[in-house]
């Protein structure tokens, strides 16, 4: 049940056990925290203008905010006694305060705009790069990771990263500048009281550093467990029919509960450690405030500072300690953000499929001659699959591949299409090694119909013209008539313009397969691959499709994978595979006369019942 739908789509069910390497405990490698920070900085560097403007505005905001207590202190000093209040002086100071508040508000608004633009453009870049990497990842990576786990990295983890990054930009710069600025202002008023603040401050850093180290590990585990949960939910929703058909609901629920329990425990630990930050720093902040109050009061009694200056100092003490609370919260969020970013960067840093060679040629004017020379391949290094496979297919031949489950039939198709590269040997088309041609040109010369269908959300016509976007309506209808799909399409509400959902919506499996066959009928490339192409079609329609296939395959090199041997009697060559090797080869009649493995397979399907 844990095999995902994606894995079943990538390989036929016959090769489920050999197609995938062992998973690496939910991640490919553990990125160091500082390594992740450096990668984030590379993305930030592109938007340095926003960053510089944000820092300047943060400095302006802090400077004006710190200037207000000074003005407040001056107002207090002007309130000396009854009848001795300097109202003109107070009015002038109030005007300055109003102007400072207005400028501060405008600067904060512009700073937030810059931070939002910078954050979400960085997130956009990260998501774009992650999606581009998915497009060029080798198929073995997709086979070895579930849908939900990959989706969780690109969606949920990036969202968490965005939240932490935005909070960091919004509060971190302002907090640091506030701390530095406050110390400067306090130092200008009284060095001794400022010394008390500086002596107590390191306690806050020690506490924050200890907690930050713990929270990163916990948030990392939480993120991985959340990805595992997303994968299970996606699998259960996608395969709900199978779950219900085999009464697997209780087992699925138990599995979900187990993952959910683990997520609860690691989330509670992460939240527990992160929640320690605020009360711990507040305790240190209260010590700072108490130290400033006591020291400042003693100085005020001795006449060292005025009452207004003491009031200013106490305000600064609050403003000085407040950023520590904010920064501690930011640090906690950043730990979560960095843990999620590390998972995204692991995906981005994954080794891409081997790129086309610089001198790769474009495969054109293909005759369809295919040669497999001493081919070796296996999905798992210690488990052999195809060993020393040799095959020569002439242009226009129809080659059927048969054999028991797991013998390597679909693997041969994967190698022909270069979804995987051979480990040893070579596969050549018209005498050219397929590793020396571009993948796009190689695959454009193949038409492929699989047992598993794939349809995207859109109109029926959109799904048919996927390989030939410029096809006319007449061409589309002609192809649909050849595949016998035209009749059911015309019965749809809007005919060829009927919108279907992802994976075909409410279409039957047979109708989905007819659309996939129509897609190939429209393109008619020089080489064809039919992997159980009529497995979901009723017998009457299958007979018609076989006739259409016969006409379509005329003059085209065709590879036919089939379990029902009745569908391959007309093949020019039948390859009988077992354990990755071709053990018999010849026409249907020839192989029957040999009375070997093929004859045994054929008779097992068509022998009369006793």
Q: What is the dihedral of CA 178, 180, 182, 183, to 10 degrees?
A: 160
Give kind and range of the element (H or E) at residue 46.
Answer: none
- CB within 8 Å of 420: residues ≥ 6 apart: 138, 139, 140, 377, 379, 411, 414
- CB within 8 Å of 384: residues ≥ 6 apart: 378, 580
Q: How confident is the model at residue 30 (pLDDT cuts 50, 70, 90)?
A: very low
pLDDT of residue 428: 92
Query: pLDDT of 158-181, one tens digit each?
Result: 887 887 777 777 777 777 777 777
Distances from the Cα of 145 to the Cα of 27, 239, 454, angstroms:
9, 17, 19
Structure tokens at 109: 């608004």
Q: What is the dihedral of CA 182, 187, 189, 193, to 10 degrees?
A: 100
Q: How confident is the model at residue 102 (pLDDT cuts 50, 70, 90)?
A: very high
> What distance in Å separates the CA atoms of residue 372 and residue 382, rounded to the nearest whole number?
23
**Ranges of each domain in the chain:** 30-348, 357-445+528-535+552-610, 447-524
For residue 478, pLDDT beyond 80: yes
Mean pLDDT, the chain, whole residue set? 78
Least confident stretch, 11-25, 304-318, 424-438:
11-25
pLDDT of residue 31: 44
Cβ pair 189, 309 in contact under 8 A:
yes
Structure tokens at 361: 């040629």
pLDDT of residue 325: 64
For residue 495, pLDDT beyond 80: yes
User: Which residues are paired to 392 by β-bridges?
Assistant: 371
pLDDT of residue 365: 83
pLDDT of residue 426: 92
**SS3 label, residue 420:** coil
Query: pLDDT of 562-575, one tens digit each?
Result: 766 666 777 888 88
> What distance in Å separates the CA atoms of residue 165 and residue 110, rounded to the nearest whole number?
17
Cβ pair 519, 485 in contact under 8 A:
no
Least confident stretch, 1-10, 167-176, 263-272, 353-362:
1-10
pTM score over 0.75: no
Query: pLDDT of 335-369, one tens digit each?
Result: 778 878 888 888 888 887 888 888 888 888 888 88
For residue 603, pLDDT beyond 50: yes
Cβ pair 117, 38 in contact under 8 A:
no
> What distance in Å separates the CA atoms of residue 17 and residue 405, rounded to the nearest whole number?
11
Fold classification of 447-524 is: Rossmann fold (3.40.50)
- Three-state secondary structure of 558-575: EEEECCCHHHHCCCCEEE
Superfamily of domain 357-445+528-535+552-610, CATH level 4: P-loop containing nucleotide triphosphate hydrolases (3.40.50.300)
Mean pLDDT across 1-6? 39
> What distance in Å separates the CA atoms of residue 540 and residue 561, rounded to the nearest whole number?
20
Cβ pair 353, 378 in contact under 8 A:
no
Q: Exposed, middle or buried: residue 468 (CB in 10 Å: 0-12, 13-18, 19+)?
A: middle
Higher model confidence: residue 531 or residue 424? 424
For residue 212, pLDDT beyond 70: no
- CB within 8 Å of 610: residues ≥ 6 apart: none
pLDDT of residue 328: 63
pLDDT of residue 230: 81
Q: Which residue bears the tokens 């960095």?
A: 338
Same-fold call for 30-348 versus 357-445+528-535+552-610: no
User: Which residues are paired to 559 by β-bridges?
Assistant: 399, 529
Give kind and range of the element (H or E) at residue 338.
Answer: helix 307-348
Mean pLDDT across 512-527? 85
Give kind and range of the element (H or E) at residue 109.
Answer: helix 87-136
Q: How confident is the model at residue 182 (pLDDT cuts 50, 70, 90)?
A: confident
As assigned by CATH, the class of the 30-348 domain is mainly alpha
Q: Which of 548, 555, 557, 549 is nearest to 528 (CA)?
A: 557
pLDDT of residue 106: 92
For residue 389, pLDDT beyond 50: yes
pLDDT of residue 15: 38
Query: pLDDT of 57-100, one tens digit each?
Result: 888 888 888 788 778 777 777 776 566 667 777 788 888 888 88
Query: pLDDT of 497-515, one tens digit each?
Result: 988 877 766 788 778 888 8
Mean pLDDT across 440-458? 83
pLDDT of residue 82: 60
Mean pLDDT across 178-204? 73
Maximum mean pLDDT: which of 92-101, 208-217, 242-251: 92-101
For residue 22, pLDDT beyond 50: no
Higher model confidence: residue 117 or residue 306? 117
């Amino acid at each position: 049940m844990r095999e995902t739908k994606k894995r079943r789509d990538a390989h036929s069910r016959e090769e489920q056990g050999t197609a995938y390497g062992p998973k690496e405990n939910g991640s490919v490698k553990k990125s160091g925290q500082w390594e992740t920070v450096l990668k984030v900085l590379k993305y930030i560097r592109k938007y340095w203008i926003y960053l510089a403007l944000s820092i300047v505005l943060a400095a302006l905001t802090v400077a004006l905010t710190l200037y207000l207590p000074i003005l407040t202190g001056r107002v207090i000093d002007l309130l000396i006694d009854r009848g001795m209040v300097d109202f003109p002086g107070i009015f002038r100071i109030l005007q300055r305060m109003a102007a400072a508040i207005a400028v501060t508000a405008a600067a904060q608004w512009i700073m937030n705009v810059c931070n939002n633009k910078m954050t979400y453009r960085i997130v956009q870049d990260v998501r774009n790069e992650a999606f581009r990497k998915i497009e060029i990842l080798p198929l073995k990576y997709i086979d070895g990771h579930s849908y939900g786990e990959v989706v969780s990295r690109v969606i949920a983890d990036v969202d968490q990263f965005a939240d932490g990054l935005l909070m960091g930009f919004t509060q971190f710069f302002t907090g640091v500048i506030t701390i530095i600025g406050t110390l400067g202002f306090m130092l200008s008023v009284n060095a001794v009281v400022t010394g008390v603040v500086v002596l107590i401050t390191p306690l806050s850093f020690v506490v924050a550093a200890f907690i930050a180290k713990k929270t990163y590990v916990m948030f990392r585990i939480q993120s991985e467990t959340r990805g595992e949960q997303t994968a299970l939910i996606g699998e259960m929703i996608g395969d709900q029919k199978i779950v219900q058909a085999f009464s697997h609901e209780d087992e699925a629920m138990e599995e979900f509960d187990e993952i959910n329990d683990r997520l609860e425990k690691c989330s509670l630990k992460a939240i527990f450690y992160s929640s320690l930050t605020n009360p711990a720093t507040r305790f240190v902040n209260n010590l700072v405030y108490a130290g400033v109050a006591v020291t400042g009061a003693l100085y005020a009694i001795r006449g060292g500072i005025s009452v207004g200056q003491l009031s200013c100092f106490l305000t600064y003490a609050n403003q000085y300690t407040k950023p520590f609370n904010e920064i501690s919260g930011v640090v906690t969020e950043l730990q979560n953000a960095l843990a999620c970013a590390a998972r995204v960067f692991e995906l981005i840093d994954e080794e891409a499929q081997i790129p086309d060679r610089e001198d790769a040629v474009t495969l054109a004017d293909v005759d369809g001659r295919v040669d497999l020379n001493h081919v070796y391949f296996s999905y798992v290094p210690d488990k052999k699959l195809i060993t020393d496979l040799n095959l020569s297919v002439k242009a226009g031949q129809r080659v059927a591949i048969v054999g028991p489950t797991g013998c390597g039939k679909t693997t041969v198709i994967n190698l022909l299409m270069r979804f995987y590269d051979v480990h040893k040997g070579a596969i050549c088309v018209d005498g050219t090694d397929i590793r020396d041609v571009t993948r796009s040109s190689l695959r454009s010369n193949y038409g492929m119909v699989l047992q598993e269908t794939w349809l995207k959300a859109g109109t029926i016509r959109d799904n048919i013209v996927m390989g030939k976007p410029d096809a006319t309506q007449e061409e589309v209808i002609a192809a649909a008539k050849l595949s016998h799909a035209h009749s059911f399409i015309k019965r749809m509400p809007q005919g060829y313009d009927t919108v279907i959902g992802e994976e075909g919506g409410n279409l039957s499996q047979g109708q989905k397969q007819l659309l996939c066959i129509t897609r190939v009928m429209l393109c008619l490339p020089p080489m064809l691959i039919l992997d159980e192409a009529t497995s979901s079609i009723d017998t009457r329609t299958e007979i018609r499709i076989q006739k259409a296939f016969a006409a379509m395959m005329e003059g085209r090199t065709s590879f036919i994978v089939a379990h029902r041997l009745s569908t391959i009697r007309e093949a020019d060559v039948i390859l009988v595979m077992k354990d990755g090797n071709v053990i018999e080869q010849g026409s249907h009649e020839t192989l029957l006369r040999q009375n070997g493995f093929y004859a045994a397979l054929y008779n097992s399907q068509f022998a009369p019942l006793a």
